[in-house]
């Protein structure tokens, strides 16, 4: 018999992961990558936003400075008179250009016909974009600002007392300022990289005793359990979540260990029960063989007894006739001594034959010793004997009996053989399986009834009328003697009971045996 392993987890196998997959899938690496990704994204976004905000503030300050410078120069030029002293204007704008670090160059232009002309500049003449911006400022009579990715231009208009209209154009290099900001951003990114590395190292060192070590211990415990060690327990320290997980794992392992012990105990109990049932089944099989041998012997003896009874009956009648004729001859002959002697010899031999015939008749009707028992005990023994046959024939056995069964005074051996004969007939009537019901009841306080009901083929009416006749059988030659039910009837009747049968073709057959209760059977003592 296959036995269960002592450890239900011993058959579990784990597919070994590659070394790289185990390293990359470890919590330590994933946590470090999560920190790096989170801090990098956070610092990148915050840095980018900071740089953008700084750039915007710087550009606004640069624009304000350029605007103030342009308006300041325009006010000074307006007060220098008309015509403008070009050399003084150039000297002044150079001084302002040198003092204002945010300003790249300053130019003064004036309207000339349909266009403008450059009057003075602190460096190179303004480009066309600057001249166009100055022309718009002169035409609109208000300060104009123009900015692209590299250059910021501000044009502030002025007008002298004599009507000379012009504008002061201030140019600032935005690219240099933005470049300075990008260099600052690069420095910040390097600092962020160093900070991230330091943060990862610090978090790793702090998480090792708090997270990594407990998780490693939990994993080692699970590996030991998977290898079959149900006594493995995870170390528990502290009161954090991992400690709660370790406690829960230990409790689960303890339950599993107890469950495994209980399971093994139940398996051993079930195995013992199966072995016991197998022994009982073998014993029942041997008892069934013995009962079959007894039944076969009983049928043979019954056959001999029935034959002897028939012979005795057939011989008894002629003997009575012969005895009568001998008496007539004795009266007719008179006192002849020789004839009387011969007739006496004939009568003596007739008496011996008659005695022998009576002895045969007595022996053919004799039962075994009787004892008090219950119908349930008789039925249980018969059911236990035929149970293997019923299971092999796929026949479901149903036993019904009242809580208190009245005792009967019977010859248990012969009555069990009679019941067994009827049960075997029921099995033969159900070749495709079915249901066999044996019911015990007390329709009357003086009667114990045993009903044997099957769901077999049923019995034809013409056969049913002869079912208890001697030598009558519907089985093929060599498979039945025709004495089984006849013997059963004689056994039941010899106990003062009765037997009847009811059948419906295709629905089944029911044999009903009524036996007198022990109190109504006359003497309740055991008979020899």
Cα separation, 88 vs 92, in Å, equals: 6
| Burial of residue 520, with CB atoms counted within 10 A of its CB: 0-12 exposed, 13-18 middle, 19 or more buried | middle
In this predicted model, what pLDDT tens digit does every residue of 21-39 receive, in sequence order? 555 556 667 777 777 788 7
Q: How confident is the model at residue 452 (pLDDT cuts 50, 70, 90)?
A: very high
Distances (CA, A) of 379 to 289, 293, 439: 17, 19, 9
In this predicted model, what pLDDT tens digit does every residue of 56-70 receive, in sequence order? 787 788 888 888 888
317 vs 95, higher pLDDT: 95
Q: Which helix (H) or strand (E) holds 299?
A: helix 241-333
Asked if 160 and 81 touch (Cβ cutoff 8 Å), the reply is: yes
Question: What pLDDT does 2 receive?
Answer: 42
Question: What pLDDT does 48 receive?
Answer: 74
pLDDT at 4 over 60: no
Asked if 169 and 133 touch (Cβ cutoff 8 Å), the reply is: yes
Q: How confident is the model at residue 284 (pLDDT cuts 50, 70, 90)?
A: low
- Alpha-carbon dihedral sign for residues 475, 479, 485, 487: positive
Give me the phi and psi of 173, to 5 degrees please.
-90, 105
Q: Work out the average pLDDT over 84-96.
A: 82
pLDDT at 372 over 80: yes
Cα separation, 291 vs 386, in Å, equals: 10
pLDDT at 218 over 90: no
3-state secondary structure of 116: strand
pLDDT at 250 over 70: yes
365 vs 208, higher pLDDT: 208
Peptide bond into 163 cis (omega under 30): no
Above pLDDT 90, what percent of the chain? 8
Distance of CA 63 to the CA centre of its chain: 76
Give me the phi and psi of 201, to 5 degrees please.
-65, -45
Cα separation, 514 vs 368, in Å, equals: 20
3-state secondary structure of 469: coil
Question: What pLDDT does 512 receive?
Answer: 94
Question: What pLDDT does 12 receive?
Answer: 44
Instruction: Give ranges for CATH 3.30.565.10 in the chain.
Output: 371-520
Helix 337-365 to helix 241-333 angle, to the nearest 10 degrees? 170
374 vs 344, higher pLDDT: 374
Query: Which positions ≥6 away from 268 have C-beta within 8 Å?
Result: none
Asked if 489 and 468 touch (Cβ cutoff 8 Å), the reply is: yes
476 vs 187, higher pLDDT: 187
Q: Which helix (H) or strand (E) holds 363?
A: helix 337-365
Q: Supply 86's token pair.
A: 């070009």
Cα separation, 169 vs 70, in Å, equals: 6
Cα separation, 326 vs 151, in Å, equals: 170
CB atoms within 10 A of CB 133: 22
Q: Work out the average pLDDT over 84-94.
A: 83
Cα separation, 507 vs 360, in Å, equals: 42
* CATH top class, domain 51-179: alpha beta
Name which of 250, 260, 251 is nearest 228 in CA terms. Answer: 260
Cα separation, 494 vs 484, in Å, equals: 15
Distance of CA 442 to the CA centre of its chain: 49
Q: Supply 70's token pair.
A: 């342009």
Instruction: Give ranges for CATH 1.10.287 in the chain.
Output: 244-365
CB atoms within 10 A of CB 486: 22
Cα separation, 417 vs 386, in Å, equals: 12
| Chain mean pLDDT for the chain | 76
Name which of 219, 235, 123 is nearest 169 in CA terms. Answer: 123
Question: What pLDDT does 438 receive?
Answer: 94
Pairing of strands 165-173, 144-147: unpaired
In this predicted model, what pLDDT tens digit does every residue of 307-336 receive, in sequence order? 655 555 556 556 666 766 677 776 777 667
Above pLDDT 70, what percent of the chain? 75
Q: Work out the average pLDDT over 127-148.
A: 87
Cα separation, 80 vs 473, in Å, equals: 155
Q: Supply 267's token pair.
A: 């398996």
Q: Supply 163's token pair.
A: 């009507």
pLDDT at 212 over 90: no
Q: How confident is the model at residue 287 (pLDDT cuts 50, 70, 90)?
A: low
Query: Which positions ≥6 away from 435 have C-beta within 8 Å?
Result: 395, 396, 398, 454, 455
Cα separation, 370 vs 278, in Å, equals: 33
Q: Work out the average pLDDT over 119-139.
A: 86
| H helices present in 409-525, as ranges | 412-428, 461-464, 484-494
Instruction: Give ranges for CATH 3.30.450.20 in the chain.
Output: 51-179
- CA-atom Rg of the chain in angstroms: 63
Q: Supply 334's token pair.
A: 């008179």
Q: How confident is the model at residue 289 (pLDDT cuts 50, 70, 90)?
A: low
Asked if 351 and 480 touch (Cβ cutoff 8 Å), the reply is: no
* CATH top class, domain 371-520: alpha beta
* CATH top class, domain 244-365: mainly alpha
């Amino acid at each position: 018999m296959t036995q269960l392993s002592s450890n239900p987890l011993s058959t579990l196998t784990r597919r070994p992961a590659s070394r790289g997959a185990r390293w990359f899938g470890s919590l330590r690496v994933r946590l470090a990558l999560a920190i790096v990704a989170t801090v990098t994204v956070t610092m990148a976004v915050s840095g980018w936003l900071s740089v953008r905000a700084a750039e915007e503030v710087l550009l606004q300050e640069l624009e304000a400075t350029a605007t103030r410078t342009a308006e300041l120069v325009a006010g000074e030029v307006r007060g220098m008179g008309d015509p403008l002293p070009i050399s003084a204007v150039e000297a002044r704008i150079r001084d302002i250009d040198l003092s204002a670090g945010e300003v790249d160059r300053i130019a003064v232009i004036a309207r000339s016909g349909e266009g403008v002309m450059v009057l003075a500049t602190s460096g190179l003449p303004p480009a066309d974009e600057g001249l166009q911006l100055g022309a718009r400022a002169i035409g609109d009579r208000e300060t104009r600002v123009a900015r692209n990715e590299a250059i910021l231009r501000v044009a502030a208009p002025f007008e002298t007392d004599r009507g000379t209209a012009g504008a002061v154009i201030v140019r600032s290099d935005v690219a240099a300022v933005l470049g300075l900001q990008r260099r600052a951003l690069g420095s910040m990114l390097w600092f962020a990289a160093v900070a991230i590395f330091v943060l990862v190292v610090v978090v790793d060192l702090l998480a090792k005793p708090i997270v990594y070590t407990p998780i490693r211990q939990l994993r080692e415990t699970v590996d030991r359990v998977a290898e079959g060690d149900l006594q493995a327990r995870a170390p528990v320290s502290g009161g954090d979540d991992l400690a709660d997980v370790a406690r829960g794992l230990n409790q689960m392992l303890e339950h599993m260990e107890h469950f495994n012990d209980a399971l093994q105990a139940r398996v051993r109990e079930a195995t013992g029960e199966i072995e016991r049932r197998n022994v009982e089944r073998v014993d029942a099989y041997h008892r069934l063989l013995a009962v079959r041998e007894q039944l076969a012997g009983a049928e043979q003896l019954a056959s001999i007894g029935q034959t002897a009874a028939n012979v005795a009956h057939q011989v008894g009648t002629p003997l009575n006739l012969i005895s009568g004729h001998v008496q007539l001859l004795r009266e007719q002959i008179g006192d002849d001594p020789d004839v009387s002697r011969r007739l006496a010899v004939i009568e003596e031999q007739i008496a011996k034959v008659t005695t022998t015939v009576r002895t045969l008749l007595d022996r053919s009707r004799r039962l075994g010793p009787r004892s008090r028992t219950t119908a349930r005990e008789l039925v249980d023994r018969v059911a236990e004997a035929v149970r293997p046959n019923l299971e092999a024939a796929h026949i479901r056995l149903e036993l019904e009996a009242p809580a208190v069964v009245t005792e009967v005074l019977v010859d248990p051996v012969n009555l069990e053989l009679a019941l067994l004969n009827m049960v075997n007939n029921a099995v033969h009537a159900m070749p495709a399986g079915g249901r066999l019901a044996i019911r015990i009841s007390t329709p009357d306080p003086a009667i114990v009834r045993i009903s044997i009901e099957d769901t077999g083929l049923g019995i034809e009416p013409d056969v049913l009328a002869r079912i208890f006749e001697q030598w009558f059988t519907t089985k093929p030659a060599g498979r039945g003697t025709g004495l089984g039910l006849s013997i059963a009837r004689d056994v039941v009747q010899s106990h003062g009971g009765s037997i009847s049968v009811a059948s419906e073709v295709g629905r089944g057959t029911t044999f009903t045996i009524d036996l007198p209760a022990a109190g109504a059977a006359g003497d309740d003592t055991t008979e020899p």
